[in-house]
Amino acid sequence: MRAILQRVRQGHVTVNNQIVGQVGHGYVILLGITHDDGPPEVKKLAEKTAHLRVFEDEQGKMNRSVLEVAGEILVISQFTLYADAKKGRRPSFTQAAAPDQAEPLVVQFVETLRQLGLQKVETGVFGAHMMVHIENDGPVTIILDTAVL
Catalytic residues: 78-80
DSSP 98-140: PHHHHHHHHHHHHHHHHHTT-S-EEE--TTS--EEEEEEEEEE
CB 17: neighbour CB atoms within 10 A? 6
Phi/psi of residue 105, nearest 5 degrees:
-75, -35
Shortest CA distance to 5 belongs to which of 72, 93, 104?
A: 72
